Amino acid sequence: MKPMSFFDFLRTNARWLAGGFLLTFFSSFGQTFFISISAGNIRAEYGLSHGDFGLIYMLATLASAFTLTRLGQIVDRYSVMKVTCIIVPVLALACVFMAVSHSILFLCVTIYLLRLFGQGMMTQNAFTAMGRWFAAQRGRAVSITTLGHNAGEAILPVTFVTVASFVGWRNGWLIGAAVLLVIALPAIAWLMSVERRPQSTDPQARLATGRDWTRAEVLRDPLFYGLLLGVMAPGFIGTVIAFHQVYLVELRGWELEIFASAFMVSATMTIIFALTSGYLIDRFSAVAMLPLFLLPLSLACFVLASFQGQWSVFAFMGLLGMSNGFSSTLLGALWPEIYGVRHLGSVRALIVAVTVLATAMGPGLTGYLIDIGVSYPSQIAAMGLYCIAAMALMFLVSRRIANRALQTIEASDS
């Protein structure tokens, strides 16, 4: 059978791909890059230092990560549409809370809800659906869904800043809540109201699985913990850089307008490498790509830590875009490939919780280190060294997973 072209794939599956895209797009309201836009206003109005706000952000995000391990399992019991009808209204409510909060306790609750239902459950719902609904074309489906994050990062921050300049930052959050209820909820619910069934049993899509693992079995798999050491890096590093972006610009003496313009480079590279990695995953498997996904992130860290010229912003953003595109697509396709799809929601809840945990640790830890005088560029260089060590570990883990898959196939054939 002739392989389906990319445009035929888009046309045939437009409904589900659009639904996944919108879920990740509107998860932006709970992502660090969006919340951090209001960080200056929050610190000023609540009288918080970088470390204080980083600690609040860390604790609220940690709480959301622990909650997600339980709440995330609902995607195994309810349809994508029903889960959407639960999580989008709560995310909108969290936006309202951000607009009306005037106490630190209320702020903690607000950030907890934004992180749990934005970054956590919206992403969980989207990638679990793509992993379960697609088989041989899973890489492409995940890469298109991932672009929702990138579109949100490119469009929503500048939109919010523009709106807030006219109505104030608190009213900007109220408008965000209205957008979620009036636009996001009905659109996603309609698109996801029809379930899709995988149309291929291509063994390449289940290369390393062999069977459907339960969450208890995954927790007893030693390779799972090796994978987590690599998986945590993009969330941790990306969140740190986004959270402290204003501090970085001030530290380097860069022009904020030029720094902001470099995001276009990052967005372009993210789109290119998200789609490219989707093709490579469908061609070679996610496990085969595993040792490479941290390479651009390590280079981005070294560029950011080593060079002070304004030109380095564009080099850094280009490498960061490559990393974002590669890693987000890979990590969306990896888990169903290794552990199957029957208990995918339960397994992914663990993974997303660990990712959220990594994003929680970043601002709190680095904010504290900044407050006590530890060089921020040195911290970024250390992150680059961690990526190199994790790449070596991912090479060993991928070999073990491939060997285990081969043994499973041989056992089933005998």
pLDDT value at position 396?
94
Which residue carries 């437009």 as its tokens? 14
pLDDT value at position 203?
42
Measured between alpha carbons, how far is residue 277 from residues 10, 127, 145, 179, 399 in Å? Answer: 16, 16, 13, 32, 20
Q: Does domain 12-413 have CATH number 1.20.1250.20?
A: yes
pLDDT value at position 3?
60
Which 8-state DSSP code applies to residue 197?
A: -
pLDDT value at position 205?
44
Q: What are the backbone angles phi and psi of residue 235, rounded to the nearest 5°? A: -65, -45
Cα–Cα distance, 327 to 274 (Å, whole number): 8
pLDDT value at position 198?
65
Are 209 and 338 in contact by the 8 Å Cβ rule? The answer is yes
Cα–Cα distance, 409 to 380 (Å, whole number): 43
pLDDT in tens, the chain (414 residues): 456 677 788 888 889 999 999 999 999 999 988 998 888 899 999 988 877 888 898 889 889 888 988 898 898 889 999 999 999 999 999 999 999 998 999 999 999 999 999 988 999 899 888 888 887 788 888 889 988 988 888 788 889 989 999 999 999 999 999 999 999 999 999 999 988 876 554 444 444 455 778 888 989 999 999 999 988 888 888 878 877 877 888 888 887 677 777 777 887 888 898 888 888 888 888 888 888 889 999 999 999 899 888 888 889 889 988 988 888 888 878 888 888 877 888 888 888 778 777 777 787 788 888 888 889 889 999 999 999 999 999 999 999 988 887 776 666 655
How many C-alpha atoms does 351 have within 13 Å on its Cβ side? 28
**Does pTM top 0.85 for this prediction?**
no
pLDDT value at position 199?
58
